[in-house]
Amino acid sequence: MKPAAAAAALLLLVASCSASEPELPPVELPPSGGKFDYQIGGVYQPEARVKIVVRDRGKSPVGDRYNICYLNALQTQPDPMDGGLSWWRQHHGDLLVKKPDGEPVIDPEWDEGILDISTADKRGKILEIQKKWIDGCKTSRYQAIEADNLDSHTRAAGAFDINATKEFMKSFVRHAHEKGLAVAQKNGGELGDSGKKYIGFDFAITEDCQANDECAPYADAFGDKYFQIEYTDEAFRKSCTDRGGRVSVIRRDRAVVPYGHPDYVYEACPPA
């Protein structure tokens, strides 16, 4: 091939790649070590020093903070909201993991159905449904999404494995990024560095990683850009000693009830 023809071919290839991979809008990340509050069990006015707030997608964000929109990516939402178990059974029953008797497989701890991401076709249909919820987070002025239940394959009665989770979440994160939303990996330490490098998660939110001795995978993948929730005093205190000056660590009650509830617990590591 002549030099001029080769150059023209190269330009055509670059143009083709650019056309197929449009540049994504920038996403805003939460400040590393910023004090955060986890409010998915009920909303309340956060303390003045709190910079980051997580709330359910059905709730309004807090002005003047970095807001993260909680979305149950691989299981049903709490009834009776749009996306609850009864809603999926009525409108998209074929997209729930079923037992041999035709009844949905249920996560016994939270009484939630498992979304069936076992095939590319089902993954596509579920994502199309969830896109409006992702878009709704953006419209409500959240800066990021927390994608929960990345370990649903362990409760799916063999319907799908962690590889299906990776494929679904890669598409999920891609759509959120197209809308200018960052996405937090919720737990899922078993993903290792594939959560960031393959799926594209921007940061992580962990529960009980100190109590379960599994904080290292998040640090390896995200550096100090992970936010840690502990539910026991011992694990919280040790986390504050080990990394409280670098990583944002809080203690919450297991049901994450709102301020004013008799079971409410909220503590954050003291400033370094």
Q: Which value, to the nearest 10 degrees, does the dihedral of the CA atoms of residues 9, 12, 18, 19 take? A: -140
- pLDDT mean over 162-191: 97
pLDDT category of residue 271 using cuts at 50, 70 and 90: confident
Q: Give pLDDT tens digits for 141-158.
A: 999 999 999 999 999 999
Q: Say whether pLDDT at 12 is over 90.
A: no
Cα 174 to chain centroid, rounded: 13
DSSP assigned state of 184: E
Please write the tens of the pLDDT for every residue from 69-122: 999 999 998 776 789 999 999 999 999 999 999 999 999 999 999 999 999 999
Nearest CA-CA partner of 148 in 74, 231, 52, 207: 74
Instruction: State the number of CA atoms in the 13 A half-sphere of 272 facing the CB.
Output: 14
**Whether the predicted pLDDT of 268 surpasses 70:** yes
Alpha-carbon distance of 182 to 176, in angstroms, equals 7
Domain 35-268, classified CATH 3.40.710.10, yes or no: no
Answer yes or no: pTM beyond 0.85.
yes
| Buried b or exposed e, range 87-111, using 16+ CB within 10 angstroms | bbeeebeebbbbeeeeebbbbeeee
With contact defined as beta carbons under 8 Å apart, do 142 and 176 qualify? no
Please report the beta strands in 116-168, taking only residues with DSSP state E, as ranges in sequence order: 144-147
Is pLDDT at 250 greater than 80 in this prediction? yes
Q: What was the pLDDT predicted at 20?
A: 59
